Structure 1
Amino acid sequence: MISSRTGATLGQQLEDQDMKKFFLMMPFILGSAAMAQEHDWGARFYAENCAGCHGETAKGDGVLADYLTVDVPDLTSLSAANDGVFPMLRVIQIIDGRSGLRTHEKPMPLYGAIFREDLQPPMGMPGASEPLVRGRVLSIAEYLQSIQE
């Protein structure tokens, strides 16, 4: 269907709208990436979201660990338990939790969903917060990789 006003098809109009939204979001996405390089956001996000159970040093000895009915893993030994290779994809999937990969017991929160709710999309654009959610999850995973023993 051709629009009489612009001569563009409906598909082209929708693509143009998506591109406009994409370009409107670029400063936020690029700004977040630049800020992540200046600060250790992974350590910050870990401290805010993970240390309660896993501990400040990620050894599984957080203040809430004694109250859980499951053992809280030592996150500094993930590489050692995986033949010396940090299991980045698996760690990302477990932190995010939205993939359905639930190798841990129920007490582990679904941080992908939590972060998405925290980062409500600006300007009512569904999915606009997803790059920021993935950035938080990746920041935590990279922080965990950096503290492997």
Structure 2
Amino acid sequence: MRLALLALCLAQPVAAQDAELVDLGLGLFLDYCATCHGTEARGDGPMQEVLAVEVPDLTQLAARAGGFPHYEVVTKIDGRRPVMSHGDVMPVWGRVFEGTDSAFVRTDAGQPIVTSVPIAALVAWLEGVQE
């Protein structure tokens, strides 16, 4: 499936590629993240009541950092920057976001960050829900 998505993206204009990536990111978020972070990423998922740590409002990442923190988001998801409340590496289900295809996430400064397609999709969706 990921190869098919990548092939589809390569055959489409940039705006269509972005839309495909955002749609994939939304699906992944709803499937794997919304239980804690909520369907709108506000930290109000059904599990937040039983967690020992406060679930952050992910729609405020850019506001808190003075711009969307691409590198920090990628490295928290892929495990380069462990999130202890997630059992060290996030997500705790590990390989779901590893992917077999590489993708680039570009920071506002244009710096590329190499990551997997699923993580790039999550980052694209999260960037789009910033307030």
Q: TM-score, normalised by structure 1?
A: 0.62
Q: Is 1:45 matched with 2:28? A: yes
Cα distance, 1:130 vs structure 2: 4.6
- The one of 102, 107, 110 aligned to 2:90: 110
Residues 34 and 41 in structure 2, CA contact (< 8 A), matched pair in contact too: yes
The higher radius of gyration belongs to 1
CA distance in 2, matches of 1:113, 1:130: 16
Residues 78 and 97 in structure 2, CA contact (< 8 A), matched pair in contact too: no
Which runs of 4 or more aligned residues in structure 1 lie more than 6 Å from their structure 2 counterparts after TM superposition? none
Distance 1:71 1:82, change over 3 A: same
SS in 1 for 2:102: helix
Q: Is 1:67 matched with 2:67? A: no
CA-atom RMSD in angstroms: 2.8
Q: TM-score, normalised by structure 2?
A: 0.69
User: Paired residues, what number?
Assistant: 109
SS in 1 for 2:76: helix
Matches within 5 A, 1:1-149: 28=4, 30-31=6-7, 33-34=9-10, 37=17, 39=20, 40-83=23-66, 85-97=67-79, 99=80, 101-102=81-82, 104-107=83-86, 110-111=90-91, 113-115=94-96, 129-131=100-102, 134-149=116-131
Give the partner amino acid of 1:114. R
Higher relative contact order (CA 8 A, sep 6+): 2
| Post-superposition CA distance 1:25-80 (Å, at most 9, x none) | xx657326359836411111111111010001100000111111111000000000
Give the partner amino acid of 2:122. I
Identical positions, percent: 30
1:16 aligns to what? none
Residues 116 and 130 in structure 1, CA contact (< 8 A), matched pair in contact too: no
Task: List runs of 5+ in structure 2 lacking aligned partners.
Answer: 104-114
| Post-superposition CA distance 1:99-131 (Å, at most 9, x none) | 2x12x33326534832267x6xxxxxxxxx152
Residues 78 and 148 in structure 1, CA contact (< 8 A), matched pair in contact too: yes
CA distance in 1, matches of 2:96, 2:56: 22
Cα distance, 1:96 vs structure 2: 1.2
Distance 1:62 1:134, change over 3 A: same
CA distance in 2, matches of 1:116, 1:89: 16
